[in-house]
């Protein structure tokens, strides 16, 4: 879990939600008997749109959904997939849990750190790649596995990583 | 045995509704809506003794029975597809190869419990499952299996896919319902149980993907057919997930009660590189570890608990003799420290303390009293919390320390890891 101190500043500048995004959020509301239940899917939509959830967007979303800003911040702070800080164009998350660890997740991680020249939690200077760690992603039979922008890549070794990174534009 | 849950696995485009129907999908639903009343469906599932495949093994029929039947309240069915137990990936395989079996199971379950809305709580990391499920649901609606007046029977039902946002704790029943309500995934104190106060505070049944996937088969072929597989009180087909040090990791469908040894040696093709088996976490990382001498045990709910472990989610994590058990134990402890929701003090503090102590021992900085201190902290976590996450952390940690204590002592005595582990990168805890 993430402590509130790690989330963004107290009162961010309100940011307008784009009309297309508002439509998507309103579509989500149809699936639930109350607005709050649509909060996490709505936050996913915001993150898909902006790459992360800027504080001003969280504030606008809270107004749009009729929720207290603190309620939105509370939910964002709890979930590891929701982030308020920007990441690279390609966000690479390495699974570090036991099944992947047994099959060489550590050397894969070392290789990525060396190859990209950044540590975990960092973004490359050109903004193209960022590295993160993730807990079990349910791909244990394909260990070691990673997520790139939440898409699964499994059965990895150096050659395959080279190939995948080379294909990302 | 002939595959039941994985029958469509090798069929091309099996997720498409027309191909699925050609393979027999929605036959059970037609039978239910034309020839069976809800109590009849319920009785069939009850008779089959279908035990929950999510980990606890609680009979699904009983769960349905306990549901508040007050006609003035809205009832919900919730499918637990949060599958975040390390070593488990069977639900993903079901959703990606046979989504219509799950949807059909959910419609039938809704019919049996008189619910008109079902939610699939899908973990956020399963992007591919999400695409497949949404498409399958749209197709099922076009074919009249979902929506108002299903197949002209007058029964209305809708299924929604809800995407989670990455939290292991949301696999816990009531934490999942909190999360589905948009809040943080904090488990609720029980009672009241979900059967009286669940999703949106209404009566709710929560079943695992694999459990619901069994329902159409039970309804179509009968409880006796289902009971023809497995042993007493542990019936039916079961999906086993093999990962770690095996030649052929993957999901295998076998009758309940196949032995662990058979699964590792035959299905998994044994241990690679001529190495020997050292330890197994048989039911996901929350189960107590078994040593190489203890693996000749049937993988069913009762036999596993008799063997001092549990069937859990049947996520079998195999470790060969090159594995440093201190490192494995630390990895597991670190996982629970990361995933503790922070609500109960024993778990929030305890998992972190244990992870730090084990990390210290692994790095060769352990002190003589550390091993016993880790065990004492485990004792103070067990059974002291709202949900079972702390217990799930204690079982593997305590069993690994007890069964491989000499290895821990050697780390402390030598001031180094005898396996030469340098693994610094995944220490998430500030030290």
Question: CB-CB: which of A36, A82, A120 is closest to B181?
Answer: A36
Q: With beta carbons under 8 A apart, name residues in chain A contacting B315.
A: 140
CA nearest to A111 within chain B:
B425
CA nearest to A112 within chain B:
B425
pLDDT at site B109: 98
Please check whether residues B337 and B354 belong to one and the same domain. Answer: yes
* B97 touching A (Cβ < 8 Å): no
Q: What is the CA radius of gyration of chain B?
A: 22
What is the number of domains present in chain B? 3
Q: In tens digits, what is the pLDDT along chain B, a chain of 431 residues?
A: 899 999 999 999 999 999 999 999 999 999 999 999 999 999 999 999 999 999 999 999 999 999 999 999 999 999 999 999 999 999 999 999 999 999 999 999 999 999 999 999 999 999 999 999 999 999 999 999 999 999 999 999 999 999 999 999 999 999 999 999 999 999 999 999 999 999 999 999 999 999 999 999 999 999 999 999 999 999 999 999 999 999 999 999 999 999 999 999 999 999 999 999 999 999 999 999 999 999 999 999 999 999 999 999 999 999 999 999 999 999 999 999 999 999 999 999 999 999 999 999 998 999 999 999 999 999 999 999 999 999 999 999 999 999 999 999 999 999 998 887 555 544 443 33
Which one-letter DSSP state was computed for residue B157? B
How far is B421 from chain A, CA to nearest CA, in Å?
10
Cα(B431)–Cα(B348) distance, integer angstroms:
17
Please check whether residues B62 and B208 belong to one and the same domain. Answer: yes
Q: Residue A4 pLDDT > 90, yes or no?
A: no
Listed residue (B337, B389, B333, B346) closest to B187, CA to CA: B389
Please check whether residues B40 and B140 belong to one and the same domain. Answer: yes
Token pair for B325 = 């058990």
Assign B159 to helix, strand or coil. Answer: strand
Cα(B109)–Cα(B118) distance, integer angstroms:
9
Please check whether residues B84 and B213 belong to one and the same domain. Answer: yes
Report the b/e string of B333-353 with b at 16+ CB within 10 A.
bbbbbbbbbebbebbbbbbbb
* A81 touching B (Cβ < 8 Å): yes
Assign A99 to helix, strand or coil. Answer: helix
Cα(A28)–Cα(A43) distance, integer angstroms:
11
Q: Is residue B312 part of a domain?
A: yes
Cα(B125)–Cα(B129) distance, integer angstroms:
9
Name the domain boundary from B196, B227, B258. B227
Listed residue (B288, B286, B289, B403) closest to B351, CA to CA: B286
Residues in chain A: 169
Question: CB-CB: which of A32, A78, A151 is closest to B185?
Answer: A78
pLDDT at site A12: 80
CB B80 within 8 A of CB B206: yes
pLDDT at site B431: 34
CA nearest to A100 within chain B:
B244
CA nearest to A3 within chain B:
B342
* B430 touching A (Cβ < 8 Å): no
Q: Residue A11 pLDDT > 90, yes or no?
A: no
DSSP notation for B51-95: B-TTTT--BHHHHHHTS---TTSPPEEEEEE---STT--HHHHHH
Q: Is residue B420 part of a domain?
A: no
pLDDT at site A14: 87
Name the domain boundary from B320, B352, B387. B320
How far is B179 from chain A, CA to nearest CA, in Å?
8
Cα(A162)–Cα(A27) distance, integer angstroms:
40
Token pair for A67 = 């929720």
A81–B162 C-beta distance less than 8 A: no
Please check whether residues B187 and B140 belong to one and the same domain. Answer: yes
**Backbone φ and ψ of B419, nearest 5°:** -90, 5
What long-range pairs does A145-151 form, CB within 8 A, spacing at least 24?
Answer: A145/A95, A145/A100, A146/A92, A146/A93, A146/A94, A146/A95, A146/A108, A147/A92, A147/A93, A147/A95, A147/B125, A148/A90, A148/A91, A148/A92, A148/A93, A149/A90, A149/A91, A150/A81, A150/B124, A150/B125, A150/B127, A151/B127, A151/B128
Cα(A121)–Cα(A131) distance, integer angstroms:
6
Please check whether residues B303 and B262 belong to one and the same domain. Answer: yes
Q: Name the residue range of residue B171's domain.
A: 17-227
A152–B128 C-beta distance less than 8 A: yes
Name the domain boundary from B300, B320, B340. B320
How far apart, in Å, are the Cα atoms of A86 and each of A8, A52, A54, A114? 11, 5, 8, 22
Token pair 């949301």 is found at B170
Please check whether residues B25 and B163 belong to one and the same domain. Answer: yes
CATH number at residue B303: 3.10.20.600
Cα(B138)–Cα(B395) distance, integer angstroms:
42
Listed residue (A86, A84, A156) closest to A128, CA to CA: A86
Please check whether residues B294 and B215 belong to one and the same domain. Answer: no
pLDDT at site B421: 59
How far is B167 from chain A, CA to nearest CA, in Å?
6
A33–B332 C-beta distance less than 8 A: no
Please check whether residues B257 and B210 belong to one and the same domain. Answer: no
A133–B428 C-beta distance less than 8 A: yes
Question: CB-CB: which of A74, A135, A151 is closest to B168?
Answer: A135
Please check whether residues B160 and B119 belong to one and the same domain. Answer: yes
Question: CB-CB: which of A96, A99, A142 is closest to B426?
Answer: A96
Q: Residue A6 pLDDT > 90, yes or no?
A: no
Cα(A156)–Cα(A66) distance, integer angstroms:
45
Q: Is residue B419 part of a domain?
A: no
Listed residue (B248, B253, B243, B190) closest to B58, CA to CA: B190
Q: Is residue B3 part of a domain?
A: no
A37–B331 C-beta distance less than 8 A: no
Q: Could you tell me the pLDDT band of residue A3, with boundaries at 50, 70 and 90?
A: very low
Q: Which of residues 141-160 of A touch B (CB under 8 A)?
A: 141-143, 147, 150-152
Strand partners, B163: B122
- Where do the DSSP E strands lie in B297-407? 315-320
CATH number at residue B348: 1.20.1440.230
Q: Is residue B278 part of a domain?
A: yes
Please check whether residues B267 and B221 belong to one and the same domain. Answer: no
How far is A139 from chain B, CA to nearest CA, in Å?
6
What is chain A's mean pLDDT, rounded? 92
The tally of CA atoms less than 13 A away on the side-chain side of residue B245 is: 21
Residue-wise pLDDT tens digits, A80-129: 999 999 999 999 999 999 999 999 998 899 899 999 999 999 999 999 99
Q: Please name the helix (run of DSSP H) or strand (run of DSSP E) that holds residue A133, with its range, or none.
A: strand A129-134
Cα(B410)–Cα(B388) distance, integer angstroms:
32
Which of A96, A136, A139 is the best mutation test for B, with the most CBs of B within 10 A?
Answer: A136
CATH number at residue B92: 3.40.50.11540
Q: Is residue B431 part of a domain?
A: no
Cα of A152 vs its chain's centroid, Å = 13
Q: Is residue B208 part of a domain?
A: yes
* B41 touching A (Cβ < 8 Å): no
Please check whether residues B119 and B253 belong to one and the same domain. Answer: no
Q: Is residue B8 part of a domain?
A: no
């Amino acid at each position: 879990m993430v402590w509130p101190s790690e989330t963004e500043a107290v009162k961010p500048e309100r940011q307008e939600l784009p009309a297309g995004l508002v439509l998507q959020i309103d579509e989500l509301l149809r699936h639930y008997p109350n607005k709050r239940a649509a909060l996490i899917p709505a936050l996913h939509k915001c993150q898909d749109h902006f790459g992360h959830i800027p504080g001003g967007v969280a504030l606008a979303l809270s107004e749009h959904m009729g929720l207290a800003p603190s309620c939105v911040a509370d939910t964002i702070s709890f979930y590891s997939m929701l982030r308020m800080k920007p990441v690279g164009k390609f966000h690479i998350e390495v699974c570090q849990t036991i099944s992947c660890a047994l099959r060489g997740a550590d050397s894969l991680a070392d290789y990525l750190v060396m190859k990209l020249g950044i540590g975990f939690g960092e973004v490359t200077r050109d903004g193209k790649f960022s590295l993160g760690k993730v807990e079990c992603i349910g791909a244990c039979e394909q260990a070691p596995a990673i997520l790139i922008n939440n898409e699964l890549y499994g059965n990895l070794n150096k050659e395959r990583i080279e190939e995948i990174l080379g294909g990302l534009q | 045995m002939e595959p039941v849950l994985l029958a469509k696995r090798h069929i091309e485009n099996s997720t498409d509704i027309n191909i699925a129907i050609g393979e027999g999908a929605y036959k059970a639903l037609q039978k239910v809506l034309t020839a069976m009343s809800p109590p009849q469906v319920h009785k069939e599932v009850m008779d089959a003794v279908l035990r929950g495949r999510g980990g606890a093994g609680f009979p699904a029929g009983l769960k349905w029975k306990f549901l508040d039947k007050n006609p003035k309240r809205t009832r919900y069915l919730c499918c637990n597809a949060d599958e975040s137990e390390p070593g488990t990936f069977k639900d993903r395989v079901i959703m990606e190869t046979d989504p219509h079996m799950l949807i059909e199971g959910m419609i039938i379950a809704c019919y049996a419990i008189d619910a008109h809305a079902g939610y699939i709580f899908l973990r956020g990391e399963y992007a591919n499952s999400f695409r497949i499920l949404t498409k399958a649901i749209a197709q099922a609606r076009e074919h009249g299996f979902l929506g108002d007046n299903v197949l002209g029977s007058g029964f209305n039902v809708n299924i929604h896919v809800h995407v989670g946002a990455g939290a292991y704790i949301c696999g816990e029943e009531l934490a999942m319902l909190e999360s589905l309500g948009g809040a943080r995934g904090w488990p609720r104190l029980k009672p009241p149980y979900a059967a009286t106060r669940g999703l949106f505070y209404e009566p709710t049944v929560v079943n695992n993907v694999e459990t619901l996937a069994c329902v159409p088969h039970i309804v179509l072929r009968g409880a006796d057919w289902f009971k023809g597989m497995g042993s007493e009180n542990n019936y039916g087909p079961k999906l086993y997930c093999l990962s770690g040090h095996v030649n052929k990791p993957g999901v295998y469908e076998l009758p309940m009660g196949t032995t662990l040894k058979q699964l590792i040696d035959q299905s998994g093709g044994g241990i690679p590189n001529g190495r020997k088996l050292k330890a197994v976490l048989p039911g996901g990382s929350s189960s107590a570890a078994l040593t190489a001498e203890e693996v000749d045990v049937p993988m069913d709910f009762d036999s596993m608990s008799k063997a001092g472990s549990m069937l859990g989610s049947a996520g079998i994590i195999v470790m060969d003799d090159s594995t440093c058990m201190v490192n494995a134990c630390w990895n597991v402890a670190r996982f629970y420290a990361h995933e503790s929701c922070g609500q109960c003090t024993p778990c929030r503090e305890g998992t972190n303390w244990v992870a730090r102590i084990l990390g210290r021992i692994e790095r060769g900085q352990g002190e003589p009293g550390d091993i016993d201190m880790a065990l004492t902290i485990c004792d103070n976590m067990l059974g002291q919390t709202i949900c079972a996450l702390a217990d799930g952390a204690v079982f593997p940690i305590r069993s690994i320390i007890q069964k491989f204590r000499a290895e821990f002592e050697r780390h402390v005595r030598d001031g180094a890891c005898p396996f030469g582990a340098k693994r610094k990168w995944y220490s998430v805890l500030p030290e």
